[in-house]
Structure formats: structure tokens, C-alpha cells
Amino acid sequence: MWAMIEKLRVSSVPMMAKGGDTRWRMGAWQIPRGTASHRWTVESSEVVRMVNAMSPVRVRFAPSPTGMLHVGGARTALFNWLFARHHQGTFILRVEDTDDQRNTPEANEAIFSGLTWLGLDWDEGPNRGGPRGPYRQSERTAIYEGYLAKLQAADLAYTDADGSVRFRCPNTTRAIPDLICGETVFAGRTEPDMTVRRANGSFIFHFVNVVDDIEMGVTHVIRGEDHLPNTPRHLDLYEAFGVTPPHFAHIPLILNANGSKMSKRDEGASVAEYQSAGYHPEAVLNYLALLGWSPKEDRELFCREDLIARFTLGGITRGNAMFNLDKCGWLSGQYFHVMEPAPFRDMLLPYLTAAGLQTTADALPDSLLLELRTKVRMLSEAVPLLAALVQDDFPVDAAAVAKLRSQSDPKPLLDALATAFAGVGTWQAADLDAAIGRAAEGLGIKKGALMFPCRIALTGQSGGFGLTTILEQLGRERALDRLTRFS
RNA sequence: GACCCGUUCGUCUAGCGGUUAGGACACCGCCCUUUCACGGCAGUAACACGGGUUCGAUUCCCGUACGGGUCGCCA
């Protein structure tokens, strides 16, 4: 057993500073750059359990309530969550709401609902509690004051002319042993001492971030690469507090289709957009996982258990990635295509209602859903498809109607169909199909030539469900009514 | 501007010195088909550039170019 663990230590980054030395020193972790040896290679769950028992993984997602859950943030949350679940560790949600202007109930809710929609549950955090709380920075002022007192006691902090508190930042050269980027060295600089507390009493991000990570026992900081250049200053703080810093893993950013950093206002930037467009949440999770991380297998579909089992920091890509809506949509379709009718109905019904369609579970039989599931990539696509089937008021495609009229007068065709349908034995696919055949034969035209006008008359659309499905779904009365009323 | 990170098909990626450079989305064609889809099959398409190291570089090193990030009393 120990041999396995030793081997693990060699093949991955040391889990902790050795020999109980809590003082982290620069260069203590020699990570050969540009080699794969620094990558996290833990795979066996047995080994994971052993290591975890020695040094339980604690990670956190620390969003700021900006009013939405950004996809970049969601992916950071996902990577942290996967890492925690893979190592049977703890996933903490901490709300960084030190900026009062942003700290609204709605903004907080946007984070919670986004994470919940994706199924990213937190072990400790708001609405959940935990031993290291509170988990909102706005409620941790006393803790920050305590840490600030430590700094002041050591003469490492002072109040400047503007009334702000500054940290005597050593600004020394720092080598960050990053689990993804390798050892990254930042030369010492001569910058003004960093502010840790504003004149109005509120604390600055860098300070509270470090204090909270210490207080919450965070072992691995997995965050966006945009934080990498800030890390040396964070290290200064850890050193000042005499605490061994956590492991760092900076993940590449998500870019827009035009190559720029995806920001708040960009299309598809908010998780809520995927929710309202009716993407399958498991698919979005799946897609996000594959954006900047790879299980190195020639397949694309991974359920969350698959992801948990496979997730390692070593699989994280080095370069930034552009978000591709097409692929996300395709993946979503893949999930719907194989969905069982019952859960599909459960997901669909509230969505249709919210979209303004008057319908019930009874109006969505299994047979219909089995056909529908292959036609949608997201639930919003089901709305126009279903509109004509579940209600009498439905949109009509003017172009399709125009095309129909340009070909021939549809009236005699529809009358012939209505007659054939009226004499049908049962209002079921086989009989209905036969009736269409008879009508076509009687008119001396092909079946297909009859089905297009029929489709237009019944649904107003040139595409959609199979014609017999439409007929069955509408029922004899409504179908015949629409055929005879079409003009 | 300074500092950091990065660079394989349009996009997401596999590749860790010797491969016909693989997969996926998208695209194109064919098949299936009453429509729209689904599905199946096939195809177009990539190692940024220049130097090294090496018998041999997509893989290792150094430059250049390009992209991104950070340099806030925003997080």
C-alpha cells in the first residue's frame, strides 16, 4: 500500500509540504516544466481513497454575484466539483460579495439556480451550512479583521494617507508550482503596497480570498488563468500569515467565437440562456467538461459519473478554448434522442407551459414523444413542432402555403382525402395510410403529392411529425375539420 | 508598454521522436425517407513561421509572429 502511495507521490505533485513543515518555501516543489510528470495522474479509486484519507481534498468555487452564472464560471465550478467528487473530497461554494452594489438577492439566486440546474451540488456553502462558515464574505468581516490584526501586529499593514489599509507586500520573486502550467516564475517587482481594506471599511478581493482559503482549509485552488498573475501577491499573503499555500491549478479561459474573452454581454455567456433555450442540462455539463479538458477517448458522450471517474487535472488543456454553440446543441440533441418518454414529458411539460402552449400530459402520449425526441436539440424546438397538434390556434407558414397553391388547387385533393378518411376503419396509422393510398389512386397521383397538401392543411407547416402521427394526434374530428376548412 | 500563459483541420480535441497525423461538431455528397429530422456511409479540411538538437521532428530547445491574460480601493 505504501509503495503505491509513494509511487503516487513521485508521479504527481506532493500532496503536502513534507515532514510537517507548514512553512512553504519557494522552490520547495520542484516541478519540471514542460514535462508530463507534474500532471495529476491519480486514477485508481482505491489509491484515491488512501490518499484522500491522508489529505482530504477541499476545493471551492468562489463566484461574485454579478447577476448571472457565466459559462466560464460554470466550467470552473464544474472542474472543482469533478475534482472534489473524483477524490471524494469536499466542494465548497463561497460567495464573494464584498462589493455591496452587486450583492443582491437576485444576483445570489442566479448563481444558485445555475449551479443547481447543472446538478453541481455543494457540500458546504450558502443554504447548506458547514463547519467553516459563514460562506458569504459579507458575513465574515470579523474574521477578516482578525487576520488584519495579525498583519498589523507584525507591522505588515499600515493605514495610508487616504485612510485605506495597505499590506507591506514584499513583491519578491515567486515561483508558482502550478499543476497545469508547470512552474511559473514571476520576477519581483516594485509596485505600491497592495490595498487590503478600503477607507470605507470593506476588504479587497486578494485579501479575503486568501484569508478564506486558509480558514476554509482549501487544499487546491482551481481557478481561471486570469488569476495566475495575481498569485505571487497571494503567496506574499500566505507567507505573511505563516501558512502553507494550497496547490494551484490555473485553467485556460473560454473565448467567444471571435476569439475574445467571453464576457458578460456576449451571446451564450450566461448559463440561464441555455436553460431558457431548453438545452439538456446534462448535455451542457458534458459539453462544458469537454471544453478545456479531455478524457482522451474517441467519444463525446460522458454522463456525470463517467466524468467523475475520469477527471484529472492532467487532462486539462493548456490553451484557451472557443465556445461552440453548434456542438453544444448537437450534444444536447444526443441526450434528448435517447430519452425515455416519461422523463422527457416531465422535462417538456413545464417548458411548454412556460412558452405559452396550452397542453397537458395526456396530450403528449409516449408514441408522440418517441418521435419528438429525435427532432429536437433543445426544448425550444419542440414548441413550434407541437403547437398545431395540441391547440387549434397555430402559426401557418405562408411560404409553404404559397408553394402549395402554385402547384395546383388543393381543394379537390383535400376533399378526396377527407372522403377517404371518413370511411376509415380505425383512426390508426395503418388504416390512415391505406386511406391516403386509396385517395391517391382515385385521383391518379402519387401518395406523396397528396401528403404535402394534407400536411399543410393540418399543421400549416411543411415539416414536422410523420403525417400519420399528426392525424392520430389530432383525432378524426379535428383532422377532418381542418381538411374541409382549409381554403 | 512590462510581465505571464498559450499556438494540431473553421471549432473542440487525440498525439508526449519514426503515425496514411486519429475522433467529434460544422460543411459537402450518397443512402434511408411523404416532409422535417434521426440514423448509416463516404469526402474536403490542421501540425503558425524561422533556426537549432537528432539518423529522424507535430512531438525537445531558442527566437519571431499571432492570440489571450494580468498590471484597480472589480472579483
CB-strand contact A256/B, under 7 Å: no
Q: Which of A304, A141, A316 is nearest to A220 (CA)?
A: A316
Handedness of CA A390, A393, A398, A403 (dihedral sign): positive
Q: Where are the alpha helices (DSSP H) in A12-123?
A: 45-54, 71-86, 105-117
Q: How far is Cα A238 from Cα A163, in angstroms, rounded to an integer?
A: 24
Q: How far is Cα A235 from Cα A171, in angstroms, rounded to an integer?
A: 10
Diameter of chain A measured on Cα atoms: 100
CB-strand contact A334/B, under 7 Å: yes
CB-strand contact A296/B, under 7 Å: yes
Cell numbers linked to A35: 514535462
Q: How far is Cα A108 from Cα A66, in angstroms, rounded to an integer?
A: 8
Q: How far is Cα A307 from Cα A286, in angstroms, rounded to an integer?
A: 8
- In this structure, what are the phi and psi dihedrals at residue A484, rounded to the nearest 5 degrees? -80, -25
- What would the DSSP string read from start to end of A319-381? S-EE--HHHHHHHHHHHHHT--HHHHHHHHHHHHHHTT----GGGS-HHHHHHHTTT-SSGGG
Per-residue model confidence (pLDDT) at position A133: 83
Cell numbers linked to A322: 472557443
Evaluate whether A237 touches A206 at the Cβ level (below 8 Å): yes
* Residue in A7, A18, A264, A411 annotated catalytic: A264
Q: How confident is the model at residue A2 (pLDDT cuts 50, 70, 90)?
A: very low
Q: What are A423-440's pLDDT values in tens digits?
A: 888 899 888 998 999 898
Tell me, what amino acid is at A47?
V
For residue A231, give every residue at least 6 positions away whose Cβ sits within 8 Å of its Cβ, in sequence order, or none.
A174, A176, A186, A248, A250
C-alpha angle A318/A256/A96, rounded to 5°?
75
- A446 in catalytic set: no
Q: What are A455-469's pLDDT values in tens digits?
A: 999 999 989 999 999
Name A residues 378-437 whose Cβ lies under 7 Å from strand B: none
Of chain A, the end-to-end C-alpha distance in Å amounts to 81
Evaluate whether A271 touches A262 at the Cβ level (below 8 Å): no
Tell me, what amino acid is at A152?
Q
Cell numbers linked to A103: 450583492
Per-residue model confidence (pLDDT) at position A425: 86
SS3 state at A70: strand
Q: How far is Cα A390 from Cα A359, in angstroms, rounded to an integer?
A: 6
- What would the DSSP string read from start to end of A151-208? HHHTT-EEE-TTS-EEE------EEEEETTTEEEEE-----PPEEEE-TTSPBPHHHH
Distances in whole angstroms, Cα of residue A100 to Cα of each of A104, A107, A203, A316:
8, 11, 11, 34
Per-residue model confidence (pLDDT) at position A47: 53
CB-strand contact A42/B, under 7 Å: no
State mean pLDDT over A394-422. Answer: 86
* Nearest nucleotide from residue A65 CA, by C1' atom: B75
The radius of gyration of chain A's CA atoms, rounded to the nearest angstrom, is: 30
- Res. A41: pLDDT tops 60: no
Protein-covered nucleotides of chain B (CB closer than 7 Å) are 3-8, 10-16, 22-26, 34-39, 60-61, 67-75
Q: What is the ipTM score, two decimals?
A: 0.95
Q: How confident is the model at residue A49 (pLDDT cuts 50, 70, 90)?
A: low
Cell numbers linked to A249: 491549478
Q: How confident is the model at residue A52 (pLDDT cuts 50, 70, 90)?
A: low
Q: Where are the alpha helices (DSSP H) in A182-296?
A: 205-215, 231-241, 271-276, 281-290
Q: How far is Cα A273 from Cα A220, in angstroms, rounded to an integer?
A: 30
Cell numbers linked to A343: 422523463
Percentage of chain A beyond pLDDT 90 is 68
State mean pLDDT over A26-52. Answer: 38
The model's pTM is: 0.88
Per-residue model confidence (pLDDT) at position A20: 25
* Nearest nucleotide from residue A327 CA, by C1' atom: B25
